Structure 1
């Protein structure tokens, strides 16, 4: 029943539907580059799975085709400041050979050498950048502009230098909301056409999926894929209602696994700590973090973060539906959503601490 699984992946290139206002806002901010001027900076924010990265990537690709705009997408998960500078250098068409462990001053000199005009850096998952001081480094280079993609605008801006915050206020912010049911059906129909054999699912079923997934495109798209896989497993010729009913949980499992694998190593280790000790209250969680913080950041070339910053890490994982926590969900405890989902990381947890927490 599935002829092209790639159609259901986030990076599949397709027409962006029902994001006219958002694309227009991006176009206004980026349009200056046609005349050799630096783009205005942009802060894109909204929940997971609603087309933030896809829309920005679509716009930037179009502008590269129209007038050769130079841009790079930097996945910020597990990136240090040096790592972001290295990516900015090596992804530019004038790239030169540099190493991540070179002094920052040398990396900035190399970046200045390669940038000769407008250069837009799309910082995906910008809320996981450990040190937003890297923005000051980027803005020290003439021509560089930033599109930052985050979940929460207020939380991210609270970590940004006060002198830089005005770059991301007012018209520079592009919020993304969840889709309406009819909009999401329009998004799903081309995926069905290009990804499945024949027409194994009808419009009423797509409306059901769009409604059940609450306007989140990623969940809806993965649910169509999951329903098709379940139908294949059950040797059905078409997707039955029972297949759809069972698709939502499987789709979320797929998304959680992908989300977890996208996170930096300290996040993965912190997730494993919660998985081992949860459910625990706030004081127990903080005590466990204090006990394990050196191990969580071992080999990461930076000191352990404070509990307040670790709380931000946990909140990011709550946004990804990987765990529940006080303040971010209705939960009063810290615990993972799926105890069977293991992070792809080696991490030895102090079992004595686990015993104390339980």
Structure 2
């Protein structure tokens, strides 16, 4: 049944995209100066999870790579690279300048000096989940390097800008903004049809079943594609030639749980501590949560930072908040 498992992975970047022509054209216009050997414009991509931000960013850079011989590019996920040093290391790694850098002993200033000395071709850096970064001053570091251009990906513009200091915010004010809305059911169906065409046998699933998957995914392509993949895997394990309605019904919660578990695994040390405290308490109000966090954490973050973490946990459907002000409580979404 499965002819190419790669295309059933939500992170797979296809050779063609659907329903994001306007967003892709806008981003391509921001990157276009690179075709003349000049730095691109800074671009900000905003929108909820599963709406194609990362896919379009990578796709646009891949297109550019096919037409422009002399430029560098790197993709950096700020979930994993959330410190200034980690990000600078990845930036230098993208141009082969990190081999003699030691993570434990090399001072950050040495990385900055090396980056400032960069005089190569235009360099595009995609910073995904940039609102996860714990030291956004690194954006100022990158902005000051003439040949470096940034594509910044975040969920919400307001939440990103509240984390920026004035130097960074003022420089990003004129950046190209590209907002992504949730997919409609028909759009998700056509995306799934592509994945079926590329990765499954033609008669493995019906259009009506794809519509059911798309409707349940609520505009999130990751959930839709993960559900399709899980149902297909279960069908193969059971020796079936077609995906049944029962397999889809079974796959939907499994796909959601898989996405949730992967997100939990990506949390930083302090975010995971906040998540675990909420999980242990079952239900907890903000003041009590911060007091417990402060008691347990080594080098605890500020209360404002913890509020940012809570918004992020809610956004990724790991935690839900109920009530307002002092009556607000947080609980884990299971």
- Verify same fold: TM over 0.5: yes
TM-score by length of 1: 0.85
Q: 313, 334, 338: which one pairs with 2:330?
A: 334
The answer for the alignment partner of 1:130 in structure 2 is 134
Q: 127, 148, 151: which one pairs with 1:147?
A: 151
The answer for the alignment partner of 1:16 in structure 2 is 17
Separation (CA, whole Å) in 1 of partners of 2:98 and 2:289: 44
The answer for the alignment partner of 1:193 in structure 2 is 197
Count of residue correspondences:
328
Separation (CA, whole Å) in 1 of partners of 2:295 and 2:322: 20
The answer for the alignment partner of 2:85 in structure 1 is 82
Separation (CA, whole Å) in 2 of partners of 1:258 and 1:56: 22
The answer for the alignment partner of 1:39 in structure 2 is 40
Deviation at 1:276, TM superposition (A): 1.4
1:27-106 alignment runs, 5 A limit:
27-68=28-69, 69-79=71-81, 80-92=83-95, 97-100=100-103, 101-106=105-110
The answer on whether the counterparts of 1:122 and 1:148 sit within 8 Å (CA) in structure 2 is yes
Deviation at 1:142, TM superposition (A): 1.9
The answer for the alignment partner of 1:4 in structure 2 is 4
CA spacing shift, 1:248–1:170, aligned 2, 3 Å: farther
1:260-282 superposed Cα distances (whole Å, 9 cap, x missing partner): 22222322232222211221122
SS in 2 for 1:248: helix
| 1:251 and 2:255 aligned | yes
Q: 297, 316, 319: which one pairs with 1:320?
A: 316
Separation (CA, whole Å) in 2 of partners of 1:105 and 1:94: 14
The answer for the alignment partner of 1:180 in structure 2 is 184
The answer on whether the counterparts of 1:126 and 1:150 sit within 8 Å (CA) in structure 2 is yes
The answer on whether the counterparts of 2:285 and 2:328 sit within 8 Å (CA) in structure 1 is yes
Separation (CA, whole Å) in 1 of partners of 2:60 and 2:68: 12
The answer for the alignment partner of 1:26 in structure 2 is 27
| 1:304 and 2:306 aligned | no
RMSD over aligned Cα atoms: 2.1
The answer on whether the counterparts of 1:95 and 1:114 sit within 8 Å (CA) in structure 2 is no
Unaligned segments of structure 2, at least 5 residues: none
CA spacing shift, 1:261–1:153, aligned 2, 3 Å: same
Deviation at 1:187, TM superposition (A): 0.8
Where relative contact order (Cα < 8 A, 6+ residues apart) is larger, the structure is: 2
The answer on whether the counterparts of 2:44 and 2:152 sit within 8 Å (CA) in structure 1 is yes
Farther off after superposition, 134-143 or 26-35: 134-143
Deviation at 1:181, TM superposition (A): 1.7
Separation (CA, whole Å) in 2 of partners of 1:228 and 1:36: 46
CA spacing shift, 1:327–1:42, aligned 2, 3 Å: farther
Deviation at 1:93, TM superposition (A): 5.0
1:212-265 superposed Cα distances (whole Å, 9 cap, x missing partner): 211211111111112223334555432122222222211101111121222223
The answer on whether the counterparts of 2:323 and 2:329 sit within 8 Å (CA) in structure 1 is no
The answer on whether the counterparts of 1:282 and 1:326 sit within 8 Å (CA) in structure 2 is no
SS in 1 for 2:214: helix
Separation (CA, whole Å) in 2 of partners of 1:2 and 1:22: 31
Separation (CA, whole Å) in 2 of partners of 1:38 and 1:278: 50
Q: 284, 291, 294: which one pairs with 2:288?
A: 284
Separation (CA, whole Å) in 2 of partners of 1:2 and 1:332: 46
The answer on whether the counterparts of 1:289 and 1:307 sit within 8 Å (CA) in structure 2 is no
Unaligned segments of structure 1, at least 5 residues: 295-302, 339-358
1:39-59 superposed Cα distances (whole Å, 9 cap, x missing partner): 111111111111100100000
